[in-house]
Amino acid sequence: MGEVDPAFIQDPEHRPKLSPIEATGIPVIDLSPIINKAVENSSAIEALVKEIGSACKEWGFFQVINHGVPLTLRQRLEEASREFFAQSMEDKRKVNRDETTLTGYYDTEHTKNVRDWKEVFDFFAKEPTLLPLSSDEHDHRIHHWTNQSPQYPPNFRVIIQEYIEEVQKLGYKLLELIALSLGLEANRFEEFFIKHQTSFVRLNHYPPCPYPDLALGVGRHKDGGALTILAQDEVGGLEVKRKTDQEWVGVKPTPDAYIINVGDIIQVWSNDAYESVEHRVMVNTEKERFSIPFFFNPAHDAEVKPLEELINEHNNPAKYRPYKWGKFLIHRRDTNFKKHVVENLQIYHYKIK
């Protein structure tokens, strides 16, 4: 899966601890009040909104149960993912991602993140997905990106598309709850997604790693988009940096639940009321691990900035300069994939000092 950088071995801040604290405090939230219309009532929804707001503020992460995504559909995609990654490297690389294709298969040998121990398959939620050709602010060319689809397993594309349709519904419900928790109209975020959203689903496979003290499944990072909706298997391995003491704590898998985290965009929209939190994935010496994150992202031309309803020139001025999401995303893609020797773009680069 790629060689381990010697500098990484020597840096104690980046080396993983083999005995993380279990993050029992990460909230598990029951979405029944908005999923089961038969029992819907205003007091239950108000309590749910309060739970969501507290989780976003205190953790930046939470798990949801009774979320409405059909379990059988999720199981079908999980099985298809296992079948795809079980193929030979030659077969998987028939749908390789490269400099002209944003979706498909890649492993850590094809990115600068050689510390990561995994292989991946990406698939856009919308086809085509509109994104800039370049992160250059003066280059206004837009490209219509399409998905690659492997021949095996059978019906792979259909299963992914059906799954995306269902998990997207969950994403919109979560955005409504987050908006309400910030005192906004429930549909406040919808305008950023309704047309040309740039969301995508990722299939992750983490093979067993013989050097768990030297590598990570995914290195420490924050998600640049709006929301991440993660399905993980029973092996676990996700760790979150706890805000109260900056300790890395493990997220214990809850059967059939989704793990939700707010991304950089919600941090900017909320003007730091909610924070995108660092997280990473630990490797396992004996067991392979599979996960399926859905990255819920707005349209490429969405201007990301603190929402006017949440800022005040005197008491809570805007903390970020506006930026275009598509340009931000393409810059991230370029620095990750093309191995540019430049710092990966972060939202703190847009922080107003």
The helix or strand, by DSSP H or E, that contains position 58, with its residue range, turns out to be: helix 42-58
**Residue of 275, 276, 281, 290 lying closest to 239 (CA atoms):** 281
Model pLDDT, residue 335: 66
Q: What is the reported pLDDT for 267?
A: 98
pTM (whole model) above 0.75: yes
Where are the chain's structural domains?
Answer: 6-350
Q: How many CA atoms lie within 13 A of 170 on its CB side?
A: 27
The whole-angstrom separation of Cα 80 and Cα 322 is: 40
SS3 of 344, please? coil
Given this model, what pLDDT does residue 198 score? 97
Q: Phi-psi bin for 308: left (phi > 0), alpha (psi -120 to 50), beta? A: alpha
Candidates 144, 143, 127; CA nearest to 135 is: 143
The per-residue pLDDT for 112 is: 47
224: DSSP letter: -
Peptide bond into 253 cis (omega under 30): no
Position 259 scores a pLDDT of 97
Q: Burial level of 212, CB count in 10 A (0-12/13-18/19+)?
A: middle
Instruction: Annotate 20-44 with b (16+ C-beta within 10 A) or e (fewer).
Output: beebeebbebebbbbbeeeeeeeee
Maximum CA extent, the chain = 60
- Partners of 203 in the beta sheet? 121
Q: What is the CATH number of domain 6-350?
A: 2.60.120.330
Dihedral of CA 224/225/227/231: which sign? Answer: negative
Residues 248-272: tens digit of each pLDDT: 999 988 999 999 999 999 999 999 9
177: exposed, middle or buried (C-beta count within 10 Å: 0-12, 13-18, 19+)? buried
Which DSSP string do the residues of 248-288 spell out, in sequence order? EEE----TT-EEEEE-HHHHHHTTTSS----EEE---SS--
- Determine the pLDDT at residue 5: 37
Per-residue pLDDT tens, the chain, 353 aa: give them.
Answer: 433 333 333 344 444 443 444 445 789 999 999 987 655 578 999 999 999 999 999 999 999 999 999 999 999 999 999 999 999 999 999 999 977 788 999 987 644 444 678 999 999 999 999 999 998 989 999 999 999 999 999 999 999 999 999 999 999 999 999 999 999 999 999 999 988 999 999 999 999 988 777 666 788 899 999 999 999 999 988 999 999 999 999 998 899 999 999 999 999 999 999 999 999 998 888 999 999 999 999 999 999 999 999 999 999 999 999 999 999 999 887 765 554 445 578 899 999 98
